[in-house]
Structure 1
């Protein structure tokens, strides 16, 4: 993405406190001692079942991600070559781009680069749940979601699920009146 809201907020901040964040991609924002995405790289690397981390970005932020990635031996960067929010490919198309470009023939964990995880989040538990689901059907997948407030539906993708928590539909940033669900995915 292009961080349109973030960049608008940074530009409109009259205090100057956040001026250094102008033009910084959300995943590269500092969280604690390093960039947000670095926390994911550390978690994915230490879990023991992730071989490579593929980051798909746009042409605007590609150089910044290439520079950041030099710290990691298992991170590969790919640009979707888009230069505007209007021309962006979207998450699914970017996933397909990475799978084809890097010739990925294994399971894939997809993480939004600007996603924070709570301290009690466990990749091992997600992997265990995925293995359980796969035992029932090899074509199955696991999608993580969380509940959001009514006014937040227009900020996230919202999953509509059935009684067994199987995804029936995903709505991209709907108004609260457009869905009964409050199950957000980032």
Structure 2
């Protein structure tokens, strides 16, 4: 398995918050890419590297910083001739302490033993209904297979409160479809093909995608979320 860490975001909201912060406590973080922000006693991305280093089945890690998320993923696939399962994760995302990479990968292995086309994504329940309108929301059947993906839906569009962070394990058979997705979307507006959720939205009706539940995540998109993330990892440790 290969791991691709998406690190191409500009961090526009976070940098705006840092520049406007009246306390002055965070000015030194201005301009630092989100994956390199200090969380606990190491950079955010280093938490992922520490977890990945413990996993024998992941033999390569690629950090992509140049293009939009889906195009970044395809760049890695093409540039490094990837013909394998791929773990895709956001370089600005961390999970609560109950998250276990080894447990998630074991679930993927179990799904693969049933059908080699199976894919796995993470999800967590929104804290309140207002969050539903801010994230990509998954609908699933009784087997926790994805049946719908709605991007920032209104509360009347879905009864699901299952949010989907940027953490996907795509099977070896699903990876070639990324090029087809980008080809189909080549003339579409950037907002219809850039975010990683757009590929998930496109692919779940073509390949089986299942959900693994986690309790929550930190998405370091602004200063309050960064502060919450750092406080959590200072309290609970760095792993």
TM-score, reference length from structure 1: 0.76
Higher strand share: 2
| Structure 1 match to 2:237 | none
Give the alignment partner of residue 167 of structure 1, picking from 146, 152, 162. Answer: 146
Task: Could you list the structure 1 runs, at least 4 aligned residues long, displaced by more than 4 angstroms after superposition.
Answer: none
- Quote the offset at 1:161 in angstroms: 1.8
Distance 2:90 2:79 in 1: 19
Gaps of 5+ in 1: 58-78, 81-88
Give the alignment partner of residue 105 of structure 1, picking from 58, 83, 86. Answer: 83
| Structure 2 match to 1:155 | 134
Q: CA RMSD in A?
A: 1.7
Distance 1:176 1:9 in 2: 29
Where 1:53 maps in the other structure, the secondary structure is strand
| Structure 2 match to 1:11 | 19
- Quote the offset at 1:18 in angstroms: 1.1
Give the alignment partner of residue 74 of structure 2, picking from 96, 106, 109. Answer: 96
| Structure 1 match to 2:52 | 44
Give the alignment partner of residue 36 of structure 2, picking from 28, 32, 41. Answer: 28
Distance 1:179 1:27 in 2: 32
Show CA shifts across 1:81-136 (max 9, x none): xxxxxxxx3x3332222111211111111111111122222222111111110111
| Structure 2 match to 1:183 | 162
Where 2:130 maps in the other structure, the secondary structure is helix
| Structure 1 match to 2:122 | 144
Aligned length: 156
TM-score, reference length from structure 2: 0.60
Where 1:38 maps in the other structure, the secondary structure is helix
Higher relative contact order (CA 8 A, sep 6+): 2
